[in-house]
Amino acid sequence: MKYFIYGDDEFLVKEKINSIKRQIEPSELLDSNLSDLEGKEISLDLLIANATAVPFLSNRRVVIVRYWLGQFQRHVGSAKVKNLELQKLVDFLENMPESTDLVFVENELLRRSNLSTLVNEKFEVFKCNGPNYSSLFQWIQDRANSYKILIEPSAIKLLGDSIGLNTRLLVNELHKLNIYCRDQKITKFDVELLVPSSKESNIFQIIDSILERNLNLAISKSHMILDQGADIGLILFMLARQIRLITLTKYLKKKNISNSQYSNRLGLHGYALEKTMKQELLFSESQLDKIQSKILEIEILVKSSNLNQRLLTDRLISEIFELI
């Protein structure tokens, strides 16, 4: 079989490659029937030599070729010798031994050419991009279904909010939770208990709830994190940080910088960048200035009075809501 695997998620790529490796029987002979070739170390003759070798006491041989095919395609020009090399590769691919599983791994699809047409027609093509934040919760649900793991929607949301787009860690946590729950349905409580970062994610949920005008959630989450031993200073610090990022985003927007520059200037990536740019649309400059002043006012009260932290947190949140 011939496979073409591409995508930006290293874990998913490795997972697909491992599923192909498992076709070698007996498994003890995997190392004797595996060639893993990468980049500049590869020549066309080396590739062919490895892929035409006879399996050793096994049913199959697996040859993995990493980040070479796209490079080979780019360097094939109009020179006669290069055309001959391309034809040599095409002839080999069309007449490859049936006992060999050849796996090409690339970051992206090949650009349009005779070679890419051959790949699309003759290869099993697998895209291994991880989920984005709009599809994250469904991705977790689909993974849980594939492993026959039962999990509540609220647990999925908390797990996604806690781990983010790290597919390797998401899968590991799913299996860990399933072992703990003894194949029973995973609940939100189980995630809070076993996933360390779920506790850290609560502070981000508080900040998002304040800035996205969800008063009830902001109050309830702040009470929960304070009851767990957190300090109001953490809420003040994280809220002030996010307001500064939103203010800077608004300033950069006025400068008409390109979308690619926002990440470098803000020091944010992925979901955090996407979220901040959406939140920027919710506030005027005047509102941002007033929120900064309110944070400073409450911070002074924390340091100069003995008022209850829950009371001060409620005051901070409710007065910010009045401002916005």
pLDDT value at 8 more than 90: no
| Alpha-carbon span 160 to 186, nearest angstrom | 14
pLDDT at 208: 86
Whole-number percent of the chain with pLDDT over 90: 41
pLDDT at 101: 95
Whole-number percent of the chain with pLDDT over 70: 95
Q: Phi and psi of 195, rounded to 5°? A: -100, 105
Q: Phi and psi of 223, rounded to 5°? A: -60, -40
Tokens of 75: 């360097």
Contacts of residues 214-222 at CB distance under 8 Å and 24 or more positions apart, as own/partner, are 215/317, 215/318, 215/321, 218/317, 219/314, 219/317, 222/310, 222/313, 222/314, 222/317
Report, as an integer, the average pLDDT of 304-324.
87
Run of H or E including 107? none
pLDDT at 52: 93
Domain ranges across the chain: 2-127, 136-194, 199-323
pLDDT at 229: 72
pLDDT value at 218 more than 80: yes
pLDDT digits (tens, 9 = 90+) for 63-99: 999 999 988 887 775 555 567 888 899 899 989 999 9
pLDDT digits (tens, 9 = 90+) for 99-151: 999 999 998 988 887 788 889 888 999 999 989 878 899 999 999 999 999 99
Higher pLDDT pick, 233 / 164: 233
Those residues whose C-beta lies under 8 Å from the C-beta of residue 209, and which sit 6 or more positions away, are: 215, 217, 218, 221
pLDDT at 166: 83
What band does 17 get if pLDDT is binned at 50, 70 and 90? Answer: very high
Q: Domain 199-323: give its CATH code.
A: 1.20.272.10
Write the CA distances from 221 to 9, 153, 294, integer angstroms.
Answer: 33, 18, 20
Report, as an integer, the average pLDDT of 254-262.
80
Tokens of 110: 């090949």
pLDDT at 21: 93
pLDDT at 228: 67
pLDDT value at 265 more than 60: yes
- The secondary structure of residue 55, as a DSSP letter, is P
pLDDT at 23: 86
Tell me which of 143-152, 253-262, 305-314 is least confident: 253-262
pLDDT value at 309 more than 80: yes
Q: Which residues pair with 127 in a beta bridge?
A: 6
Give me the chain's average pLDDT, please. Answer: 87
Q: Which CATH class is domain 2-127?
A: alpha beta
pLDDT at 4: 96
pLDDT digits (tens, 9 = 90+) for 170-205: 999 999 999 999 889 999 989 888 886 655 566 777
Those residues whose C-beta lies under 8 Å from the C-beta of residue 236, and which sit 6 or more positions away, are: 295, 298, 299, 302, 316
What band does 214 get if pLDDT is binned at 50, 70 and 90? Answer: confident
pLDDT value at 36 more than 70: yes
pLDDT at 78: 52
Q: Provide the CATH topology of domain 136-194.
A: Helicase, Ruva Protein; domain 3 (1.10.8)
